[in-house]
Structure 1
Amino acid sequence: MSGKFIVIYGANNLGKTIQTRLLTKKFIDDGENILLVKYPIYTLKPTGPKINKILRDPSEKDRNIKEYDFQKLYTQNRYDFQSTLKLLLSSGFTVLAEDYLGTGIAWGVTNSIKNDGEDEKNITKLINKFENLNKGLLKPDIAILLDGERFLSGIEKKHRNEDRGNSVWDLNRRVYKKLAERYSWKSVKANQSIESVHNDIWKIILKSN
């Protein structure tokens, strides 16, 4: 029997990492075969190391790359892992991912507006543009959006997407919420206790079985 592909989405600094770790432990405790993946996969050459350098090294020559070109690297990274993803699922593994193609669409739209001068009035057009870039990628069986106010303690200094003003983060959150409506993602309030967020996510997963 094929495994489930589950994705946890949300703007940065909302506790996605701790929630995916808790979910992984829950699946293991329940005797499930599970693999936790965090996109992009930085170890996957050639795109992973390149993406990581652009995100985290202010001296990187491509730091100010046009967003569409940057998202091409992310899309290729996802495509390059897709055969492994399909093999795992067909072997009965549950694959739990922190971020995926919806992340690319959300940040593609956000940075096209904030960095490349696109008009925020064109959000729907931009969503279509980055959606088309990700055509052919496997769709998740379950997609869950963590939504809430960011945890400032989680901001990574010098990170291309995180270490910026609140207006960037707020726009990114709005785009994610639009995507949740468009793709019928389930939403969980991220500003509850860690345990409450985990329990809400688990309820969604159980209902989908």
Structure 2
Amino acid sequence: MSGKLIVIDGIDGSGKATQTDILVKKLKQKGQAVETVDFPQYTQNFFGGMVRKYLDGQFGIPTEVDPYLASILYAGDRFESSQKIKDWLAADKLVVLDRYYTSNFIHQTTKMAEGEIDDFISWEHKLEFEIFKIPEPDLVIYLHVEPKIAYQLVSKRGSGHDGHDTLDHMRKAEQRSTLLADKLNWTTVKCSDGKKPLAIEKISQKIFKEVKKII
């Protein structure tokens, strides 16, 4: 595969969808052939529909469902979309993803002790890359935002509640993902100054600077 796979991820309220859209537009303006997917694919994929049921609480409270079992649902969703991603990469396209396997780390590790994380990382990598054989990313952009700020942004948005948008979960997810960003060599982009969110364009400039390094 000769294309490049770029992932944008972070806790709820970090601006993933917004920054993905901006990045895709900037790359197209530069004449790049770009494709994009946002995960989960709730309506397009069989497993995406199962993820929706999980988030709606049909299998129990989402933040209490076993992290390994929950991760399989998300991994299945990515597997269903993996062939078209591989095809795009083989066609020398840039592929920008709003969330990927990285989201399993951000959210599911909040359900386990820190000492259990390394085993989960090994299991997750085997599941995604060896069994489902999804393509590995060339760059993971981790959007870091303070939990209180993210919570305020999500509250204003007024989207559905699935347990991932509570302040308690956001605090846990921020702690875990900050640890994992260092452990897994994600590129961290700060999205706030500690008191308020940075301007959307300023964040997008930071992201584009990192993307230019690999294209």
Q: CA-to-partner distance for each residue in 1:44-64, whole Å, 9 max, x for gaps?
A: 331111211321x34x2x133
Question: Aligned equivalents of 2:90 and 2:128: distance in 1?
Answer: 22
Contact 1:14 1:146 (C-alpha < 8 Å) held by counterparts: yes
RMSD: 1.9
Asked whether 1:203 is paired with 2:209, we answer yes
2:4 aligned partner: 4
1:185 aligned partner: 186
Contact 1:105 1:131 (C-alpha < 8 Å) held by counterparts: no
2:137 aligned partner: 140
Contact 2:129 2:136 (C-alpha < 8 Å) held by counterparts: no
1:174 aligned partner: 175
1:194 aligned partner: 200
Q: Could you say if the C-alpha distance between residues 66 and 183 of structure 1 is closer, same or farther in structure 2, counting changes exceeding 3 Å?
A: closer
Contact 2:142 2:186 (C-alpha < 8 Å) held by counterparts: yes
Contact 1:54 1:160 (C-alpha < 8 Å) held by counterparts: no
Asked whether 1:70 is paired with 2:67, we answer no
- Given residue 54 of structure 1, which amino acid in structure 2 is its aligned partner? Y
Cα distance, 1:120 vs structure 2: 4.0
Query: TM-score of the superposition, structure 1-length normalised?
Result: 0.86
Q: Which runs of 5+ in 2 are unaligned?
A: 193-197
Query: TM-score of the superposition, structure 2-length normalised?
Result: 0.83
Identity of aligned residues (%): 26
Aligned residues: 198
Contact 1:41 1:77 (C-alpha < 8 Å) held by counterparts: yes
Contact 1:102 1:179 (C-alpha < 8 Å) held by counterparts: no
Q: CA-to-partner distance for each residue in 1:87-146, whole Å, 9 max, x for gaps?
A: 011112211001111111221211x23xxxxx3443334433434433333210111111
Give 1:45-194 correspondences, 5 Å limit. Answer: 45-55=45-55, 57-58=56-57, 60=58, 62-64=59-61, 65-110=65-110, 112-113=111-112, 119-136=113-130, 137-149=134-146, 150-151=149-150, 152-155=152-155, 156-162=159-165, 164=166, 166-191=167-192, 192-194=198-200
Give the stretch that moved more between structures: 172-181 or 124-133. 124-133
- Given residue 116 of structure 2, which amino acid in structure 1 is its aligned partner? N
Contact 1:14 1:147 (C-alpha < 8 Å) held by counterparts: yes
- Given residue 121 of structure 2, which amino acid in structure 1 is its aligned partner? I
Question: Aligned equivalents of 1:7 and 1:43: distance in 2?
Answer: 21
Q: CA-to-partner distance for each residue in 1:24-75, whole Å, 9 max, x for gaps?
A: 11111112221121112213331111211321x34x2x13343321110111
Q: Which runs of 5+ in 1 are unaligned?
A: 114-118
- Given residue 123 of structure 1, which amino acid in structure 2 is its aligned partner? I
